[in-house]
Amino acid sequence: MTPSETFVIENLRLYFRTHQGPVQAVDGVNLTLGRGRTIVVVGESGCGKSSLGRAILRLLPRNVQTYSGSVWLNGIDVMTLTEEQFRQQVRWTRLAWVPQGAMNALNPVIGIGDQIAEALLVHQQADTPLSARRAVEEGVGQVGVPLDFLDRYPFELSGGMRQRLVLAMALITHPDVIVLDEPTSALDVLTQANIMNVLKTIKRSTDTRFVLITHDIAASSELADDAAVMYAGQFVEVSGADQFYREPLHPYSQALMASVPALRDDKRLAAIPGQPPSLINPPTGCRFANRCPARFSKCSEEPPLFPVEGRLVKCWLYEERSHA
């Protein structure tokens, strides 16, 4: 049913068990990503976007209550694999992950070069330490880090350098999909621009797919082919980047865009009133309804994702346009 070139997520759910009841962190997410494309997932903190990243990679905490759905990669549903098969065949070899705060993700007592080589050796992509070393040198050159850094330890490097090395680590196995969770949010403006340049270069020269998870809408536009807006565990809008940044459709996307300060034009900033809903007992109906300026009687029922001119919007306002 799935062409082997695409990466498809169907109805992915991840609920956590708590004393107050299940937290519906990821609640029925669908996503399709073609070869060489990048989708950005934007949303406020607590909307479930990092949980989505972890759910894709199956990096789960112990208190998982529900974990279901399908993740199709190269024609197989990796959700059906056992944990050991997933570890051997998928994680890091096909699906790699750059964690949040990646610059603190390096092991402080192992040299940089050895850490990156470890991934290759564990996943049998290099037979000898020497050939691993050669591959590491190539990969590190790709992210623009001088080779003499390979013999250093993480504390000797700046945040931007460490971030690039973690990126090199994710790229070293030539995965099909890389999930980047807030790759630049802890970095300075110049360093951030630098990392984005590196990512753009990699994106152009390989056909790796990226899932970029971020709360920084301005920075997300640096890499996006497609954009998805997440709210309360669900995608409320999925759209091509060109249309999304120019004219977001969902009232939440519009409010989010209006809250982003712009350096170059004189727009008025507007905050979004109210709080995101609790994911323990999310409201029935549209989850954004009680903060929404455009709400009407229909919003007490849950809207489906309406297709509107090649985009998807989870809002009753677009019911008619989707039939037209």
CA–CA dist 114, 71 (Å, integer): 32
Determine if 192 is a binding residue for other proteins (CB under 8 A). yes
| Closest by CA position to 164, among listed 178, 143, 181, 185 | 143
Which residues fall within 8 angstroms of residue 143, CB to CB, at 6 or more apart?
164, 165, 167, 168, 171, 198, 202
| Residue among 90, 132, 256, 305 that touches other proteins (CB under 8 A) | 256
Determine if 104 is a binding residue for other proteins (CB under 8 A). no
The token pair at 116 is 């990156």
79 vs 199, which CB is nearer to other proteins? 199
Q: Segment 136-165, which members bind other proteins (CB under 8 A)? A: 158-160
CA–CA dist 211, 234 (Å, integer): 16
| Closest by CA position to 49, among listed 192, 168, 212 | 212
| Residue among 156, 193, 293, 296 that touches other proteins (CB under 8 A) | 193
Element (H, E) at 121: helix 112-122
Measured from the Cβ of residue 244, the count of other Cβ atoms closer than 10 Å reads 26
80 vs 275, which CB is nearer to other proteins? 275
Determine if 78 is a binding residue for other proteins (CB under 8 A). no
Determine if 188 is a binding residue for other proteins (CB under 8 A). yes
Each residue 263-292 as x (binds other proteins by CB under 8 A) or -, in order, gives: xxx---xxxx--x-----------------
Q: What are phi and psi of 215, to 5 degrees?
A: -105, -5
69 vs 222, which CB is nearer to other proteins? 222
| Residue among 118, 225, 302, 319 that touches other proteins (CB under 8 A) | 225
Determine if 206 is a binding residue for other proteins (CB under 8 A). no
101 vs 159, which CB is nearer to other proteins? 159
Which residues fall within 8 angstroms of residue 175, CB to CB, at 6 or more apart?
92, 93, 94, 95, 96, 208
Determine if 35 is a binding residue for other proteins (CB under 8 A). no
Measured from the Cβ of residue 37, the count of other Cβ atoms closer than 10 Å reads 19
71 vs 224, which CB is nearer to other proteins? 224
171 vs 198, which CB is nearer to other proteins? 198
The residues that touch other proteins, with contacts defined as CB under 8 A, are 44-45, 158-160, 188-194, 196-197, 200-201, 215-225, 241-242, 244-246, 255-257, 259-265, 269-272, 275
